[in-house]
Amino acid sequence: MVQNAIEHAFDPAVEAGSVTIRAERSARWLDVVVHDDGRGLPEGFSLETSDSLGLQIVRTLVSAELDGTLGMRQAPSSGTDVVLRVPIGRRARLVL
């Protein structure tokens, strides 16, 4: 998610830009938000229909291995927010 933000969020001709990572925990969930202040999502973009292999791999990993969700949205000010939500207190099936 971070690499994707760095690679795709910013115009190569512009030298400035930032990527912020924030984690929030509730009793049942861990939310990780990766925010960039770049150019935002292309018009008509849909995570569900994206043909990006990297996004498909991440979605499958989050869903199948972590029982979580992955979402992307235009950020309120500018750029994009990618939100990863996984349940707390459950052992993931992922083996590293």
Domain range annotation of the chain: 2-87
Q: What is the pLDDT of residue 91?
A: 58
Secondary-structure class of domain 2-87 per CATH: alpha beta
- The pTM assigned to this predicted structure is 0.78
Helix (H) or strand (E) holding 72: strand 69-74
Per-residue confidence in pLDDT tens, the chain, 96 aa: 777 777 767 777 777 888 999 999 999 999 999 999 888 888 888 888 888 888 889 999 999 999 999 999 988 888 999 999 999 976 555 544
Give the C-alpha separation, 25 to 28, whole Å.
8
- Only one residue has tokens 């994707």, namely 4
Q: How many CB atoms lie within 10 A of CB 43?
A: 5
Give the C-alpha separation, 53 to 72, whole Å.
16
Half-sphere exposure of 11 (CA within 13 A, CB side): 4
Q: What is the pLDDT of residue 47?
A: 84
